[in-house]
Amino acid sequence: MNAVYLDNAATTRVAPEVLEAILPFLKEQFGNPSSFHSFGSSHMEAIEKARGQVARLLGAKCEEVYFTSGGTESDNQALRGAVKIDPSRKGIVTSAVEHPAVLETARALEKEGCKLDIAGVNENGELDIESLRALVNKQTAVVSIMAANNETGVIMPLKEAAGIAHEAGALFHTDAVQMVGKSPIDVHSLSIDILSLSAHKFHGPKGIGAIYIKKGIELPPMLTGGHQEKGARSGTYNAPGIVGLGKAAELALTHLKDTVARERTLREEFEKRVLESCPGAFVVAENASRRLPGTVTIIFKGIESEAVLTLLDMQGIYASSGSACSTGSKNPSHVLYAMGVDYTLANSALRFSLSRYTTDEEIDRTVELLSRVVERLRRISPYAE
Ligand SMILES: *Cc1c(COP(=O)(O)O)cnc(C)c1O
């Protein structure tokens, strides 16, 4: 029986069209795009095409998009660069539910002398906008708020957060890795200054991403060297990766409306059926005003998520107990903690994340197996009520 992959918030399969676009750049077209000779320099055309494809997905201009190695690097450049622009502004304000690529970078910068303030979220995982407002001031260099959370799927109020940053003269950065390619996002209407995205979260290859930097903002580079990307990001162009990212962006835009509608229908159906068939199950952030179409975390009261994951895995169904980065560490999710979910419940949380390739049959199979697995575990669980 075919595997059911429901861990698309961790990474996604490479789309067949993306693979096809990449292959020539791994086979015959191996030149260095920065070369003088045409064998290499002709690839600049493919790279600029990809830049246009990414820009269109964001509503940005081509010259505002720079290629990086992924979401982690883009987040690092955003924060590390922002605190270098103005010596009188060394403050970073972010939220308690950010990805470690933001939170750990902010903590590292705090150790280097920056001021770090962290705004909370409510029980639905939504940003506490008043707590954010109270933390932003004339010393703030950057406000960094993720577009959508990787565990709960909750979509954050970016326009309001950007407004607060701009009122104080600070930059506004968003880690949009979970949003880009999955739900529409427009950098201009949301007043975003800097944005991070990653190809492998929307059917592109791993190890490639981009940073959007609004025209006019001089964000210092993290990597110095050969002056690629107008000096914003040195390093030999990853032509196969860039072409793959471009194609993935084009496909995401083409399918966006359909995918959002289909994933939302499938996810809502999934939630409804799981809640009906598994007593003691509830959806995290169920009452959040906006959520991603295809991501949901469900808590199965009285059951260890790892036991469920193992039994699902044995039947070829792949889900997650939260973010891949905290799995294995035994620490409960910092996201659920920030939402006030207690430790035991947090250890009963499972994340299911869909993609445009998820089928009705896969959802059917998952619901059926889940109800059997949960019932079986509940019978032997010492915590079950
Ligand atoms: C996956 C992820 C990242 C890291 O992106 P990489 O390209 O894997 O480095 C950053 N932020 C969020 C919200 C993510 O989901």
What ranges do the domains of the chain cover? 4-11+256-380, 16-251
Which pTM was predicted? 0.96
Residue 63 pLDDT > 90: yes
Mutate-to-test residue for ligand 1 from 76, 77, 201, highest number of ligand atoms within 8 A of CB:
201
Range with the poorest average pLDDT among 280-284, 291-295, 302-306, 319-323: 319-323
pLDDT of residue 27 exceeding 80, the answer is yes
Would you place residue 30 in the very low, low, confident or very high pLDDT band (cuts 50, 70, 90)?
A: confident
pLDDT grade for 285, boundaries at 50, 70 and 90: very high
Q: Average pLDDT of 112-126?
A: 98
pLDDT of residue 322: 65
Q: Is the pLDDT of residue 329 over 70?
A: no
pLDDT digits (tens, 9 = 90+) for 73-111: 999 999 999 999 999 999 999 999 999 999 999 999 999
Pocket lining: 175 vs ligand 1, CB cutoff 6 Å: yes
More confident: 352 or 384: 352
pLDDT computed for residue 67 by the predictor: 98
Give me the pLDDT at residue 1, please: 65
Ligand 1 centroid from CA 202, angstroms? 11
Higher pLDDT: 301 or 322? It is 301
Is the per-residue pLDDT at 215 higher than 90?
yes
- Strands 317-318, 171-175: parallel, antiparallel or unpaired by DSSP? unpaired
Give tens-digit pLDDT for 248-268: 999 999 999 999 999 999 999
Length of the chain (residues): 385
Could you tell me if 99 and 323 are in contact, meaning their C-beta atoms sit under 8 angstroms apart? yes
Determine the pLDDT at residue 383.
57
Cβ–ligand 1 contact at 147 (below 6 Å): no
Strand order across the 65-68 sheet: 65-68, 209-213, 194-198, 171-175, 140-144, 91-95, 115-119
Active site residue 278: no
Query: Looking at the predicted structure, is the pLDDT value of residue 54 above 90?
Result: yes
What is the structure's pLDDT at 328? 53
* pLDDT surpasses 90 at 180: yes
Q: Within a 10 A sphere around the Cβ of 1, how many other Cβ atoms?
A: 7
CATH topology of domain 16-251: Aspartate Aminotransferase; domain 2 (3.40.640)
The CA-atom distances, in angstroms, between 260 and each of 181, 263, 264, 360 are: 10, 5, 6, 15
Pocket of ligand 1 contains residue 195 by CB under 6 Å: no
Given a contact cutoff of 8 angstroms between Cβ atoms, the answer to whether 207 and 227 are in contact is: no
Distance 71 CA to ligand 1 centre (A): 5
Query: In the structure, what pLDDT confidence band is assigned to residue 324 with cuts at 50, 70 and 90?
Result: very low
Please tell me the predicted confidence (pLDDT) of residue 98. Answer: 98
Q: How far apart are CA 208 and CA 318, in angstroms?
A: 24
Q: How far is CA 145 from the centre of its chain?
A: 12
What mean pLDDT do residues 198-226 have?
97
- % of the chain with per-residue pLDDT over 70: 96
With a 6 Å cutoff on the Cβ, whether 149 touches ligand 1 is: no
Class in CATH terms, 4-11+256-380? alpha beta
